[in-house]
Amino acid sequence: MFVLLLLLSLLAYGWLIIRAFFAWKRLLVPAIPAGFIPATKISVIIPVRNEAQQIPVLLQDLEKQNYPAELFEVLVVDDHSDDGTAQLIQEFIAATKLQLRLIRLAGHTEATGKKAAIKQGITQASSELLVFTDGDCRVQPDWLLYFAHTYETQQAFFISGPVSFHNTHTLLQRMQLVEFASLIGVGGASIGLRQPNMCNGANLAYTRAVFEEVGGFAGNEGIASGDDEFLLHKVNQLYPERIAFLKHPGAIVHTEARKTVRSFISQRVRWASKWQSYQSLAVKLVALTVFAVNLLLFLAIPSVLLGWLSFWTFLAAYAAKFLIDFLFLNQILTFMGRQNYLIFMLPLQLVYIPYVLYTALSGLTGRYTWKGRTIRNHD
């Protein structure tokens, strides 16, 4: 029975990943014509908490955008930072030509958290197209140009962009890059299949109109994480054909991987805490399939030691999953210019299964620590 369950889980997982493989290949890489003149007004909204060390370089990146200065504004929404973030931004405003505003969340609402910061930013934004990133990210010079081009040519209401890590100096950080690339790839492929399951708030855009039409974050206010994915799922219910993935290397947003195992696990538990609140059956089935195959592969280890499973069956199961993951990750990492990181799949395989099981089970509690706050999800 165990061998049968293991085989069925591998077949289901293999079908999901191979399907994603071909869906990713079918995604078009946009080519902006030489004479393209954007006409879209954009509001860049950056929710921040304690980002004094990182946000200056992001603001400098925004100063260097190849986009008409009169067509975009930048709104930094400060969520009760206590590290001088607000003062630093005020000083930057005095010296920059950016249309830059600081919004202090404490001055508008008693609510805290990223959702509250995003809602306040949207309230004060002056543009129809809203583009989002995080305070610890770096963006490339044509970042806004690619969003505007996708918005104008595809009439997209919701645009998800790729995210990757930079400054990956340690083995832990390099393994994170590989693991995170798989999430970005699956998310992009799922949009291509018109069955979107995930995106990342560090590189995202949607229209004010669609945000209001789907009721914003209504229905999941008690879930601290997941502002991006819950909204994606709601938009998909109304406009599956108006969701796009921005598959271009020039649109990749870079952030830093976690520096310690503890902070990495805390981040992943935060992400996992929202899975049980997903409403889409298709999305739940994907999460369940990934959990099941990792659980059964983990249980295969004691099964071999106890003589319940042959060593060759065990080896074949692990080899099958590794090959499936390798084929998919090869094209995602190649797109990101990180094909040489494929070698880090090997150490990742040693820790990936117990890590997935631990974060998935820990996420069920809905409790975690993030940016100096202890957070507990509620209905």
Separation between Cα atoms, residue 207 and residue 212, nearest integer Å = 9
113 confidence band (pLDDT: 50, 70, 90): confident
Instruction: Tell me what percent of the chain is helix, strand and coil, each rounded to the nearest 5.
Output: 55, 15, 30
* Every domain range in the chain assigned CATH 3.90.550.10: 28-274
The DSSP bridge partners found for residue 130 are 43, 206
The pLDDT assigned to 374 comes to: 59
269 confidence band (pLDDT: 50, 70, 90): confident
Q: Which fold does the domain 28-274 belong to in CATH?
A: Spore Coat Polysaccharide Biosynthesis Protein SpsA; Chain A (3.90.550)
249 confidence band (pLDDT: 50, 70, 90): very high
Six token digits for residue 174: 């390099």
Number of residues that this document lists for the chain: 379
Averaged confidence pLDDT in the chain: 91
Query: Over the stretch 9-33, which tens digit does the pLDDT of each residue have?
Result: 999 999 999 999 999 999 999 999 9
Query: Over the stretch 34-93, which tens digit does the pLDDT of each residue have?
Result: 889 999 999 999 999 999 999 999 999 999 999 999 999 999 999 999 999 999 999 999
218 confidence band (pLDDT: 50, 70, 90): confident
The pLDDT assigned to 227 comes to: 79
350 confidence band (pLDDT: 50, 70, 90): confident
Q: b/e string for 127-164 if b means 16 or more Cβ within 10 A?
A: bebbbbbbbbbbbbebbbbbbbbbbeebebbbbbbbbb
User: 328: closest CA among 1, 4, 7, 16?
Assistant: 16
Separation between Cα atoms, residue 196 and residue 233, nearest integer Å = 7
Positive or negative: CA dihedral 37, 134, 55, 163: negative
User: 336: closest CA among 23, 54, 24, 13?
Assistant: 24
> Does the pLDDT of residue 379 top 60, yes or no?
no
372 confidence band (pLDDT: 50, 70, 90): low
Separation between Cα atoms, residue 321 and residue 340, nearest integer Å = 20
271 confidence band (pLDDT: 50, 70, 90): confident
Count other C-beta atoms under 10 Å from residue 298's C-beta. Answer: 14
Q: Against a cut of 0.85, is the pTM above it?
A: yes
Residue type at 111 in one-letter notation? A
The DSSP bridge partners found for residue 301 are none
> Does the pLDDT of residue 378 top 60, yes or no?
no
